[in-house]
């Protein structure tokens, strides 16, 4: 079921914030134990040129620890 969610955020109309949020959930909760989710997320990271820095900034922003516009 989560693979369908990943397919939905791959669509062009999904915002980058929505995409990052879904990817973070998948990375933290499912990818460690589900190779299909892990492979799909790897493809999304490549297709959308998502970096580790972007993921980290979004994770901190979701926790209200950093403004996404702050530079590191």
Confidence band, pLDDT 50/70/90 cuts, at residue 72:
very low
- Residue with token string 């493809």: 43
Give the pLDDT confidence of 5-49 residue by residue, as tens digits. 999 999 878 899 999 999 999 999 999 999 999 999 999 999 999
Q: pTM of this prediction?
A: 0.85
Give me the count of residues in the chain. Answer: 72
Tell whether the model's pLDDT for residue 70 goes beyond 60. no
What lies within 8 Å, CB to CB, of 44 at 6+ separation is 6, 9, 10, 19, 23, 50
Average pLDDT over residues 49-55: 97
CA distances in angstroms from 58 to 15, 31, 33, 36, listed in the order given: 13, 18, 23, 23
């Amino acid at each position: 079921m989560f693979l369908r969610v990943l397919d939905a955020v791959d669509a062009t109309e999904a915002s980058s914030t929505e995409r990052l949020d879904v990817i973070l959930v998948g990375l933290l909760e499912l990818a460690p134990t589900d190779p299909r989710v892990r492979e799909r997320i790897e493809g999304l990271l490549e297709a959308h040129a998502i970096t580790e820095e972007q993921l980290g900034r979004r994770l901190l922003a979701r926790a209200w620890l950093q403004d996404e516009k702050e530079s590191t």
